[in-house]
Amino acid sequence: MYQAIVFLPLVGFLIAGLLGRFIGARASEVVTTSLLFVSCALSWIAFTQVGFGGGTTRVQVANWLVSGDLVVDWALRIDTLTAVMLVVVTTVSSLVHLYSVGYMHEDTSRPRFFAYLSLFTFAMLMLVTSDNLVQMFFGWEGVGLASYLLIGFWYDKPSANAAAIKAFIVNRVGDFGFSLGIFLVFTLFGTIAFEGIFPRVGEFASQTFRFLGYDWNALTITCLLLFMGAMGKSAQFLLHTWLPDAMEGPTPVSALIHAATMVTAGVFMVARLSPLFELAPTALSVVTVIGATTAFFAATVGLVQNDIKRVIAYSTCSQLGYMFVALGVGAYSAGIFHLFTHAFFKALLFLGAGSVIHAMHHEQDMRHMGGLRKHIPFTAAMMGIGTLALTGFPFTAGYFSKDAIIEAAYAGKVPGANFAFLMTVAAALMTSFYSWRLYFMTFEGRPRWSHNGHAHAHGHIAPAAGGHEHEHAEEHHGRAHALHAPHESPLVMLIPLAVLAVGAVAAGFLFKEAFIGHDYDHFWKGALFTAKDNHILHDMHEVPGWVVASPFVMMVVGFLVAFWFYVIDPKKPVQLAKANPLLYRFLFNKWYFDELYDVLFVRSAKWLGFFLWRKGDGWLIDGFGPDGVSARVVDVTNRVVRLQTGYVYHYAFAMLIGVAAFVTWYLFGGVL
């Protein structure tokens, strides 16, 4: 069963990728989607059996690598953490496949698209079922490759190519640290297999490792390097810049990347390696602070974005920060719980946004929407449910998981926990505001689109700064406004929305006790490690009442402000933007990280390349001397070639001279 869960998407990829031209687009859609639904059904069976039944299972697939002491098996590690990730990945991926049948029906490259989706899913399944760090790195790089292919799927768009390259390069920065962490793990433990690492972690709690002339705690350096990989893959602060640009890919790609696959890989990795992180408190503090900073930063940027997909993208970035806060304070199960619930409502929001874009004939700018609830009521209802879950409305999925993280941050004992509590509470306020801002600008108010293809801007549309007022990732060539009245999406796109809405409402209530409640030990069965002095799951339930109420208060305040700004007094956002132009531009331009990185890295790299070309190639190699260094090298080479006479006795004589010279050096120079 477990082999089928992992390899059925690979079979779909091979069929659609190799035979797509022969079997056609419809057959490719049917094959890949059907295999994903089979994998999804088996994953739910495994989740029931493992989470509420048996313990850890190891399934040997093959002997992979043997090099000295390095032995790498290709094996599947099936425990509760794996089962949770299998359910998340296959459920969202299968629904995205089904949704894509309707969303991509006009695209002539559908077999390639569905092949890439299945490859992405297979790589992620390889990652979450890995039994060792090398196998995890294989899946880790696999999702990186698949994301590059999917983000740049419309490769004839320069912006899509640039976004794909950006995602690939930024992730290589994080992966460099991840690979160094794997090397250090092997140096310390002599193995990269989890079953050989986890039981021996205590032996290295106080061991030092000499690095850059100083002695460092070995586990701290190891965990920081591993977390560097998580920062890149999960788009944490400083390595986050690729995630919003990933919106250049088709909307189903955004849903798959943001909800269930690539961006959750870093969270899963830290949770899987909880035995290492739990004994490296300094590393946990770094995880906490970076996660809290990411949650706050991304929320501030989401306040003023106008592209419907970019708002949700920054929401993803912020929610990933919440997950790392939970991991950093030691509440690993709370972080995975939010990963689990977040997958449902974030996929719902992205696919709902895709339905809006489909209805608006590929328009993504919310300033050219408005009043859509009357035209696409089902999509509006689904987006409303997703918004309620994201903002933490009582008894929805986000209410249980996000509030638990805020309570855990307050109860946390690691340095930085108080900072994380303040940042997550502030982020909850901004999350509510920008989420309802998206809903009101899209579905309420007067229509800001027309039937003749011209968008009408009204006074409540906040002006964009810096000449970027039409900046957004369009999914087709050129700008296309609604030529006809918006219409509801086909049933094949609405069914996944309905299924995800059920999860967005019920996932938190149904699984709260299993993930973070009294059934914690029975459910996880050691898949997540907590030290004996880590009582965070108990302490988080003992926090003061005002802490428990703070996320709800922030949610209500954010809703009321958004309702005031975009329903009651639509001119207020314009007035605030004009009154605070520097702050508005700072947030709208994403804290100027792209511009800063362009100056520090992109332009400097271009300058270095230009310098080596002009001075190295042009002046030194081609221009130095009468005819250039290259000409002199050719002359020397021509003379050396003449030594190759073809006579054996010439070569034997040269060898004899060499032996004589070596003996002479050994007798006189070598002794001295």
For strand 208-211 and strand 214-217, is the pairing parallel, antiparallel, or unpaired?
A: antiparallel
Q: What is the mean pLDDT of each run of 10 residues along the chain (672 residues)?
A: 92 93 92 95 92 82 85 90 94 94 88 94 94 93 92 89 91 93 92 92 85 84 94 91 87 84 91 93 95 96 93 94 95 94 94 92 89 92 96 94 95 94 96 96 86 43 36 38 72 94 93 86 86 89 94 96 93 91 93 91 88 75 64 74 79 88 80 48
Length of the chain: 672
* Residue 485 is assigned to a structural domain of this protein: no
* Residue 372 is assigned to a structural domain of this protein: yes
Q: Judge if pTM exceeds 0.85.
A: yes
343 plus 463 within the same structural domain:
yes
Give the separation between CA 259 and CA 272, rounded to whole angstroms: 19
Domain final residue, candidates 588, 618, 645: 588
Give the separation between CA 245 and CA 249, rounded to whole angstroms: 9
425 plus 300 within the same structural domain:
yes
262 plus 402 within the same structural domain:
yes
HSE-up of 127 (CA within 13 Å, CB side)?
28
* Residue 482 is assigned to a structural domain of this protein: no
* Residue 112 is assigned to a structural domain of this protein: yes
User: Strand, helix or coil at 666?
Assistant: helix
* Residue 523 is assigned to a structural domain of this protein: yes
94 plus 161 within the same structural domain:
yes
465 plus 611 within the same structural domain:
no
For strand 214-217 and strand 70-78, is the pairing parallel, antiparallel, or unpaired?
A: unpaired
Question: What is the DSSP-derived secondary structure letter of residue 130?
Answer: B
92 plus 118 within the same structural domain:
yes
347 plus 414 within the same structural domain:
yes
Position 515 scores a pLDDT of 92
Domain final residue, candidates 588, 615, 648: 588
* Residue 159 is assigned to a structural domain of this protein: yes
274 plus 131 within the same structural domain:
yes
557 plus 661 within the same structural domain:
no
582 plus 620 within the same structural domain:
no
Domain final residue, candidates 553, 588, 623: 588
* Residue 483 is assigned to a structural domain of this protein: no
* Residue 481 is assigned to a structural domain of this protein: no
579 plus 665 within the same structural domain:
no
CB 207 within 8 A of CB 184: no
652 plus 548 within the same structural domain:
no
Exposed, middle or buried by CB within 10 Å (0-12, 13-18, 19+), for 495?
middle
Number of folded domains that form the chain? 2
Give the separation between CA 379 and CA 356, rounded to whole angstroms: 7
Candidates 104, 149, 102; CA nearest to 122 is: 149
What is the residue range of 614's domain? 597-670
